[in-house]
Structure 1
Amino acid sequence: MGMSVRTGMDALPESCVSMILSFTSPAEACRLSLVSSTFLSAAESDVLWARFLPPNHAGIISGSAAPVEFSSKKELFLRLCDRPLLVDGGRKSFKLERSAGTVSFILSARELSIKWSDDPTHWIWKTLPESRFKEVAELRTIDRIEIEGSIETKALSPHTLYGAHLIFKVSDSAFGLDLMPFETSVEMGNWVRPGTARLQCPDQRKRCLESLLYANRSEMLRKHWETERDSRGGKAPGEREDGWMEVELGEFFIGEVGDGDGDGDGEVKMSLKQVKGYQLKGGLVVEGIEVRPKSPVH
């Protein structure tokens, strides 16, 4: 008579409840842990949080630049959400998004292909205390910019819409970066999405200086800029929480990895270029390209 009878979901074994919760999201699992003691226990289990971690998380952790300590799979998950992990010799930064457990990466400047970056008359490599990476690339002077990066789609989260963002700064002595739009693209297999982006917007003081230096040529380039921006909708730069600037290079969707439809296999290529106009430019500081989720698709 004194024994309570459990009914419904609460009567299921903890391992079964853990499996059911694994079909939700990390955020939903935490909310459901308030339902009962069985749900609470299941929501803390390694069985559940192992499902929320990416399949290749062991390999990622083993490639970390610093040891990763954890006592449970949930603690590891939260660790990867709270503090980005430097991996692959410190050339990439890895992080999980807390609510859905989706993966994001930042590819450092050293991980990118930056044309003529090995020529110190055009680019120099330097250390900045505010950068998460050992080195950043700073443009001294050049007339053509070509920056490319790539990442394997199997390293990313399936059924997820991603955005690729160039992370950069513009020095106080920068020049030539705001006269013409930059061409951007994101490519997967035969699928290519082109676009345009701005790294700087002209201000009044610079316009006066440029009118003296470049006269009619500057005006011609600016008219070309306006035409391109109006017809193709160039992306505008924005400030990040970490103090850097970013501009979106494009977006892409990762399907089911290994399903053979081309969405989840292979690699994604991202680029920012300015190869027209032959206008000298300098003062661009490149930290890397971030590939992060825009929204999960269920």
Structure 2
Amino acid sequence: MNQLLVQQIIKNALIEDIGTNDLTTELIFEEEARVHAVLIAKSPGRVAGLSIAKQTFLMLDPEVIFEARVADGMDVLSGTILADIVGRARGVLSAERVALNVLQRMSGIATQTQLLCEKVKDYPTQIVDTRKTLPGLRMFDKYAVTVGGGRNHRFGLYDAVLIKDNHIAAMGSITAAVTRVKEKVGPFIKIEVETDTLDQVAEAIKCPIDVILLDNMNPQNMRVAVNLVAKRMLTEASGGVTPETVQDYAKTGVDLISVGWLTHSVRALDISLDILGVVL
């Protein structure tokens, strides 16, 4: 991850939460008071974001000691201590909410991604994410997907061409849209086209593209589409994928399965920060 962007995201989040000051903590603790705290998993799952949490505490107390007991990518049980923290009480408690928000969200994404990846491990397909991320936290969300065993789709509108239904409607056809793009795009940019029907798939495979997106097709039609493509380019399934149906899509032979809810409907992993005592 780009550390300059990481620092900026953390800084903005802390400013949003603290404002001019942490009124409660500053009234209770003297400036030099120090505490020992631990981060504890309150539910089982896969951990992601410990380095982000550490940087959050360091931003408010450069002398804080943050010792991780586990690493990103490890699966933990409820009750597992994730890290020990020793530092100034004001810094630890003022950073607590931001650190937990990020750590819980990222661990929740990693946990759900790992569960999906486990379901398709016996098939030649990969779970990938989408751009349906929380604004401002895309870097963290997409990193968490990789910790869960998934792969990243494009990061933004700038790093790949994806010709979607509205682009096709505006141009009149898939062929016309691809032709317009190929006239202007460089040779190192990948081109993907969204298709909704088998007729569109038949048109798309005649175009010079790299990936065909099979959108909201049932597994039966998707299998037909994958056979039509016949490995000319990569195929991507999108829409209607759940933990219950993901194997059905994987069985069609599709190369990629993109899942938006991994990052747009996150179920945070339950993690807490507990103060064990004051340090003299």
The TM-score, its normalising length taken from structure 1, stands at: 0.27
Question: Between Structure 1 and Structure 2, which shows a larger proportion of strand residues?
Answer: 1
Question: Between Structure 1 and Structure 2, which shows a larger proportion of helix residues?
Answer: 2
The TM-score, its normalising length taken from structure 2, stands at: 0.28
